[in-house]
Amino acid sequence: MNRLTSILTGLAGSIFLLSSPGLAAKDVSPFELYGDRISFTVLRNGKDVGTHDVKFKQTGKNLVVTSRFDLKIRALAINFYKYNYTSIGKWRNGKMVQLNTDVFENGEKTRVQARAKGNGLAVVAPTGPLKIKGSLYPTTHWNPNIVKSSRVFNTITGQANKVRIKSAGKENVPTERGSRPATRYVYSGDLQTEAWYDGKGRWVKLRFKADDGSTIEFVCKRCLGKS
């Protein structure tokens, strides 16, 4: 099977056009949106193959966001493809100040490290160190304000990706409390994916094509918080 690196780059994106009234421009508190965590079931061509979880913790002045993605694809009950992704990011005053990502793909490990420095990010990527100008949202989707940017920080490659995302209208999506209306955003440019946010700005669904042509969907298991 080909690499499924597009799975996590699907957790990316921002937009120069903001057309959904539910997505606010102010700093977003994940605790108000989601409580202390978000959980998705991951489907590949409609079949359950994994999970994606995001946890939030306030530590002093820092918001610590831990994202974990686990994927197993089996053949004859034997694991033949395994993908594990973990990122730990620190946020302060609505901006990411540090992020470490580890990816294990069929036994091979890659790492990305980034920290805020000056007017940008100092990054150690799989291809080597680099400097990225500006303050970018990482490809983790939980913050709805990501849809206002034209560049994002790719947490797998350590690169800045140029993106263009347009609202494609509202659709009903499944959640832990039944079907709910949400706005679909279509990503193009360096990343291609679709992401859904509900009227309060909560991330409730993701869909994209993996490198092998299969369709990957993140289906909400817990994403609505208390309301």
What pLDDT digit, counting tens, does each position of 118-132 carry?
999 999 999 999 999
Predicted confidence band at 212 (pLDDT cuts at 50, 70, 90)? confident
Name the token pair of 129: 């160190």
Predicted pLDDT of residue 121:
95
Pick from 45, 46, 53, 51: nearest CA to 1? 45
> What pLDDT is stored for residue 172 in this prediction?
97
Q: pLDDT of 45-71, one tens digit each?
A: 999 999 999 999 999 999 999 999 999
Helix (H) or strand (E) holding 185: strand 178-189
Residues 76-116: tens digit of each pLDDT: 677 788 999 999 999 998 889 999 999 999 989 999 999 99
Closest listed residue to residue 154, CA positions, set 167, 168, 141, 170: 141
Query: 161-205, pLDDT tens digit by residue?
Result: 999 988 999 999 999 999 999 999 988 999 898 999 999 999 999
pLDDT of residue 78: 76
Domains and CATH numbers, the chain: 6-222 (2.50.20)
Give pLDDT, residue 62: 95
How much is the pLDDT for 80?
A: 84
pTM for the full model? Answer: 0.84
In the three-class reduction of DSSP (H, G, I as helix; E, B as strand; rest coil), residue 132 is classed as strand
